[in-house]
Amino acid sequence: MSNCIRIATRKSPLAMWQAEHTAALLKSLHPGLEVEIVGMTTKGDQLLDSPLSKVGGKGLFVKELEQGMLEGTADIAVHSMKDVPVEFPEGLHLAVIMERENPYDAFVSNNYEGLADLPEGAVVGTSSLRRECQLADRRPDLQIEPLRGNVNTRLAKLDGGQYDAIILAAAGLIRLGFESRIRSCIDPVDSLPAIGQGAIGIECRIDDQRVHDLIAPLAHRDTTDRVLAERAMNARLNGGCQVPIGGHAVLDGDQLTIKGLVGTTDGKRILRAEATGPRAEAEAIGLRVAEDLLGQGAGEILAALHESH
Ligand SMILES: NCc1[nH]cc(CCC(=O)O)c1CC(=O)O
C-alpha cells in the first residue's frame, strides 16, 4: 500500500498515454515504487455523439476520477489541463502542473497545407466553439462542421472524406505519434489556444502528504506560471463553461505576457486583450486581461451564451 500509487484516468488513448507517461516518470524518480493505472469511464466519454457545447456541465471529463480519489480507489488523477474545471471538490486540489507540450492548434488535412490555402467554402471539422469563432473570423466563407470523438476517431473521420481539414490540439497528436499528420501549426494570432492547452496536471487529496512528496518533482515551473495566469483569467471570466474563450501565456525571462480572447461563436464579435508583468504576479496578470475583456463587454457575450445552453 504505502509503496504504491494508483492513477485514475479516462480510457481514451490520449488519457492513457498521459497516465502511462506520468507512471513512467514516477517510477524513474522513485525506484521500487509500484504504479497502478485505474481506467475509468466519464460522462463526457459516454456522450460522444452530442456536441460538447450542448452537453454542458462542469467537469464532464473529471467527475468520476475525482470520486475515485475521494473514495480511496485512486490516489492521483492525471488530466489534460484544458479539461480541468476552475473549482475542485472539497478535499481535492491541483498539486502539480507538468511540462507543456506544443500548445498550439494543428491544421490537419490530406489535401491542404494550412488555413490560407483552403479553397472557398471548404468544410472544416471542429466542435470547439473557440476554434469555430476564430475560424469564422479569419475565413467567413468556410463551412464549419461538428467533429467529436477522441483524437484517433477524429483522424479516421477526416480520412473518411467528410472534411477538407480538421483542427486538433497539436499536443494530442504529438503524444499519440501522429505528428506527421500535422500540416501546419496555426499561428496564435489566427487561433489563440485554449487555457491550459498542451499541459498535463495532477490532482490529488489535499491532505495526502505521501502522495505530494512523490509527485512534487514532476512540477514544471515555467508551465506552472503560464497555466496559472491562463486559469486566473478564465476563472474571472466564466468558471469553465463551454464558451469561445482563448488564453495563452508566454515567458520571456521573468516577463510573463498573456493574451486573452472572448468572442461570439459566429466570429462576428471578438474581443482581445493582453497584459505583461513579472512572472511572480502570474495570476494578477491573468486577472488584468480578464478585467480588460470585461470592460470591453465580454460579460454580455458570455451571458448570452450561457442563456442559449
Ligand atoms: N478537448 C479534448 C482534449 N483535451 C486535451 C486535448 C489535447 C491535448 C492537450 O491540449 O493537452 C484534447 C484534444 C483536442 O483538443 O484536440
Q: Which of 157, 165, 171 is nearest to 199 (CA)?
A: 171
In words, the CATH class of domain 105-185 is: alpha beta
Looking at the predicted structure, is the pLDDT value of residue 44 above 90? no
Amino acid, res. 17: W
Mutate to test the pocket of ligand 1, among 80, 81, 100, 128 (most ligand atoms within 8 A of CB): 80
Mean pLDDT of 42-67: 72
Q: Do domains 4-98+199-219 and 232-308 have the same CATH topology?
A: no
- Reported for 17-22, long-range contacts at CB under 8 A and 24+ positions apart, including other chains, are 17/175, 17/176, 18/78, 18/79, 18/80, 18/175, 18/200, 19/78, 21/175, 21/200, 22/76, 22/78, 22/98, 22/200, 22/202, 22/218
Looking at the predicted structure, is the pLDDT value of residue 58 above 80? no
231: which 3 cell numbers?
A: 486559469
The protein residue whose alpha carbon is closest to atom 15 in ligand 1 is 169
More confident: 48 or 106: 106
Q: Is 171 in the pocket of ligand 1 (CB under 6 A)?
A: yes
pTM of the complete model: 0.94
**Mean pLDDT lowest for which of 57-61, 101-105, 131-135, 214-218?**
57-61
The protein residue whose alpha carbon is closest to atom 11 in ligand 1 is 198
Cβ–Cβ under 8 Å, residues 246 and 105 = no
Share of the chain above pLDDT 90, in %: 86
**pLDDT single digits (tens) 180-227:** 999 999 999 999 999 999 999 999 999 999 999 999 999 999 999 999
- CA-to-CA distance for 241 and 220, rounded, in angstroms? 27
C-alpha pair distances (Å), 222 with each of 195, 226, 256, 279 = 15, 6, 10, 9
Per-residue pLDDT at 60? 77
Cβ–Cβ under 8 Å, residues 148 and 45 = no
Mean pLDDT of 150-178: 97
Q: Is 301 in the pocket of ligand 1 (CB under 6 A)?
A: no
Looking at the predicted structure, is the pLDDT value of residue 270 above 70? yes
CATH of 4-98+199-219, one of 3.90.1310.10, 3.40.190.10, 3.40.50.2020, 3.30.930.10: 3.40.190.10
C-alpha pair distances (Å), 74 with each of 19, 109, 149 = 12, 39, 26
Indicate the pLDDT class of residue 241, thresholds 50, 70 and 90. low
Looking at the predicted structure, is the pLDDT value of residue 4 above 60? yes
Indicate the pLDDT class of residue 81, thresholds 50, 70 and 90. very high
Per-residue pLDDT at 53? 53
CA 234 to chain centre: 12
Q: Which of 281, 216, 283 is nearest to 247 (CA)?
A: 283
- CA-to-CA distance for 143 and 32, rounded, in angstroms? 54
Measured CA angle at 200 (ends 194, 201), to 5 deg: 105
Structural element, H or E, at residue 283: helix 282-295
Amino acid, res. 40: M
Neighbouring CB atoms inside 10 A of 193's CB total 25
Mean pLDDT of 93-114: 98
Domain boundaries, the chain: 4-98+199-219, 105-185, 232-308
Looking at the predicted structure, is the pLDDT value of residue 1 above 60? no
CA 78 to chain centre: 13
Ligand 1 closest atom vs CA 101: 11
Complex confidence, ipTM? 0.94
Per-residue pLDDT at 62? 87
Answer whether CATH 3.30.160.40 is correct for domain 232-308.
Answer: yes
Average pLDDT value over all residues in the chain: 93
Looking at the predicted structure, is the pLDDT value of residue 240 above 60? no
Q: Is 159 a catalytic residue?
A: no
Q: Is 168 in the pocket of ligand 1 (CB under 6 A)?
A: yes
SS3 of 220, please?
coil
- CA-to-CA distance for 255 and 277, rounded, in angstroms? 6
Indicate the pLDDT class of residue 48, thresholds 50, 70 and 90. low
Mean pLDDT of 121-126: 98
Ligand 1 closest atom vs CA 171: 8
**Mean pLDDT lowest for which of 50-59, 90-99, 144-153, 290-299?**
50-59
- CA-to-CA distance for 270 and 26, rounded, in angstroms? 42
Cα(13) to ligand 1 centroid in Å equals 12
Per-residue pLDDT at 57? 60
Mean pLDDT of 228-236: 97
